[in-house]
């Protein structure tokens, strides 16, 4: 199907076909509730989409994933991570997987903490496979310090040397102020995550964080900060020495959004030859998803530009295509007859310098589609996964996007 200037190719069975009926490829089991998709890549170029499945009526679930060896055209049957159980599904706190070049696979996920000090508290666990996912070690907590009773909104990324890094929000902090601390840790061979340390305090405690390693080896972190006790804007920091030190926090846009609540929609970023590109949600100085860029690795940022004209467009994700162009996706409400609403996935394509080339939608207004995630695949192609309602069941689906 063609939407705007883009062709959506959907993996059906063992072939990729052009569909005029907008059929999507189902990844999850059809009879179980599924949500929280995430897209990762292996060292040998395969694409992996993971998600959480729960038995109907259950509050917690298990991690599953599917693998594509043909750049997202087809995927394997769902594979269960046997030691990743009790997961609390939360699409902004979705489980994630990272594949180290030595064959180790790490799956990281969140569970409920049930702590009387914070009824929303959670804990982060991770499980590892040393043989590419054939067998999984027992799950272990990311944090063992008993002073930490709340860890949430984590991210994980592969570092240039082959180790994995993780960031997360943690209740431990030295200041008496609202918010969480941002923590950082790196794996040490096959010993798991080690040497955790705090990088920032008074971080908004309810928005997704983003950890990204660029092709030059710099480590970028973006998150929503609490500034002057009331403003919740996006900030960016970078390390050019492998995570030993990080730059001071820089606000990517002075939105000055004053909110005493939980936005539950975090930032996204990517880097191409022209510099860093950011997407985020705000209600400061306008409402919706916005974009900016930095040509000097986070020292200065361009003025923000609104991405979607739809009210309350949110949950943006961003990727780079192999021709240096930038592709963003997000979800946005769509009004139906009778004052009812669905949700659809929108997209915007920009050239390497950030100029808008095309904007449109990728999913049908007749369906309820949310929380898209996206990854560039090469050959001017990206794969997108998202959650979609099917009757009284939620399913995880995917599609290929190609010009």
Per-residue pLDDT reduced to its tens digit, 306-328: 999 998 999 999 999 999 999 99
By CB atoms closer than 10 A (0-12, 13-18, 19+), residue 298 is buried
Q: Whole-angstrom Cα distance, residue 87 to residue 123?
A: 10
Reply yes or no on whether the pLDDT at 13 is more than 50.
no
pLDDT tier, 7 (very low <50, low <70, confident <90, very high otherwise): low
Reply yes or no on whether the pLDDT at 370 is more than 70.
yes
Q: Whole-angstrom Cα distance, residue 235 to residue 201?
A: 12
Task: State pLDDT tens for residues 127-170.
Answer: 999 999 999 999 999 999 999 999 999 999 999 999 999 999 99
β-partners of residue 385 are 373, 398
For the segment 3-27, the average pLDDT, to the nearest whole number, is 48
**Residue 18 confidence (pLDDT):** 35
Across the chain, mean pLDDT equals 92
For the segment 358-387, the average pLDDT, to the nearest whole number, is 95
Within 8 A by CB and 6+ apart from 21, the residues are: 1
CB atoms within 10 A of CB 161: 9
For the segment 172-179, the average pLDDT, to the nearest whole number, is 93
Q: Which residues of 68-79 are buried (b: 16+ CB within 10 A; e: fewer)?
A: beebbbbbeebe
**Residue 8 confidence (pLDDT):** 57
Is-above-0.85 flag for pTM?
yes
Among residues 139, 38, 39, 52, which one has the least CA distance to residue 89? 52
Within 8 A by CB and 6+ apart from 321, the residues are: 327, 376, 380, 381, 382
β-partners of residue 211 are 221
Among residues 255, 302, 257, which one has the least CA distance to residue 277? 302
**Residue 82 confidence (pLDDT):** 98
Of 10-14, 206-210, 325-329, the least confident:
10-14
pLDDT tier, 65 (very low <50, low <70, confident <90, very high otherwise): very high
Task: State pLDDT tens for residues 70-92.
Answer: 999 999 999 999 999 999 999 99
CATH number 2.120.10.10 is the correct assignment for the domain at 24-402: yes
Reply yes or no on whether the pLDDT at 246 is more than 80.
yes
Q: Whole-angstrom Cα distance, residue 56 to residue 69?
A: 31
Q: What does 125-194 look like in DSSP terms, one character per residue? A: EEEEESSTTSS-PPPEES---TT---EEEEEEEE-TTS-EEEEEEES--SSSSSSEEEEEEEE-TTS-EE
**Residue 1 confidence (pLDDT):** 35
Within 8 A by CB and 6+ apart from 146, the residues are: none
Q: Whole-angstrom Cα distance, residue 401 to residue 380?
A: 9
pLDDT tier, 116 (very low <50, low <70, confident <90, very high otherwise): confident
Tokens of residue 120, six digits: 């929303």
For the segment 226-250, the average pLDDT, to the nearest whole number, is 96
Reply yes or no on whether the pLDDT at 369 is more than 60.
yes
Looking at the chain, the whole-number percentage of residues with pLDDT higher than 70 is: 94
Task: Sort residue 277 into left (φ over 0), alpha (ψ -120 to 50) or beta.
Answer: beta
Task: State pLDDT tens for residues 255-313.
Answer: 999 998 889 999 999 999 999 999 999 999 999 999 999 999 999 999 999 999 998 99
pLDDT tier, 379 (very low <50, low <70, confident <90, very high otherwise): confident
Q: Whole-angstrom Cα distance, residue 49 to residue 119?
A: 31
Reply yes or no on whether the pLDDT at 375 is more than 70.
yes
Task: State pLDDT tens for residues 334-367.
Answer: 999 988 999 999 999 999 999 999 999 999 999 9
Q: Find the angle CA(34)-CA(38)-CA(42) to the nearest 5 degrees.
A: 130
What single DSSP character describes residue 93? Answer: G
């Amino acid at each position: 199907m063609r939407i705007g200037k883009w062709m959506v190719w959907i993996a059906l069975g063992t072939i990729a076909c052009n569909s005029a009926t907008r059929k999507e490829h189902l990844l999850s089991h059809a009879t179980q509730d599924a949500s929280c998709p995430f897209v990762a890549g292996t060292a040998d170029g395969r694409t992996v989409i993971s998600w959480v499945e729960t038995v109907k009526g259950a509050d917690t679930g298990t991690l599953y994933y599917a693998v594509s060896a043909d750049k997202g055209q087809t995927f394997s049957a769902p594979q269960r991570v046997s030691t990743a159980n009790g997961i609390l599904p939360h699409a902004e706190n979705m489980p994630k997987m990272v594949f180290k070049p030595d064959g180790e696979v790490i799956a990281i996920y969140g569970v409920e903490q049930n702590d009387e000090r914070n009824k929303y508290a959670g804990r982060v666990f991770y499980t590892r496979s040393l043989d590419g996912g054939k067998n999984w070690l027992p799950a272990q907590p990311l944090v063992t310090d008993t002073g930490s009773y709340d860890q949430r909104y984590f991210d994980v990324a592969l570092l240039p040397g082959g180790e994995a890094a993780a960031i997360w929000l943690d209740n431990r902090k030295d200041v008496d102020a609202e918010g969480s601390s941002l923590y950082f840790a790196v794996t040490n061979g096959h010993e798991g995550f080690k040497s955790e340390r705090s990088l920032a305090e008074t971080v908004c405690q309810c928005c997704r964080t983003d950890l990204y390693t660029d092709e030059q080896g710099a480590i970028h972190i973006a998150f929503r900060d609490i500034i002057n006790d009331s403003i919740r804007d996006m900030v960016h920091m970078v390390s050019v020495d492998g995570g030993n030190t990080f730059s001071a926090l820089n606000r990517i846009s002075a939105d000055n959004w004053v909110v005493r609540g939980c936005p539950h929609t975090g930032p996204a970023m990517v880097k191409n030859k022209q510099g860093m590109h950011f997407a985020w949600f705000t209600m400061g100085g306008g409402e919706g998803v916005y974009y900016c860029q930095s040509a000097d690795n986070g020292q200065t940022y361009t003025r923000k530009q609104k991405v979607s004209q739809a009210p309350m467009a949110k949950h943006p994700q961003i990727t780079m295509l192999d021709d240096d162009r930038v592709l963003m996706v997000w979800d946005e409400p769509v009004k139906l007859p009778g004052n009812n609403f669905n949700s659809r996935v929108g997209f915007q394509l920009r050239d390497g310098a950030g100029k808008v080339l095309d904007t449109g939608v990728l999913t049908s207004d007749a369906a309820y589609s949310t929380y898209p995630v996206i990854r560039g695949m090469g050959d001017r192609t990206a794969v997108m996964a998202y959650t979609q309602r099917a009757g009284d069941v939620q399913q995880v689906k995917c599609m290929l996007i190609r010009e």
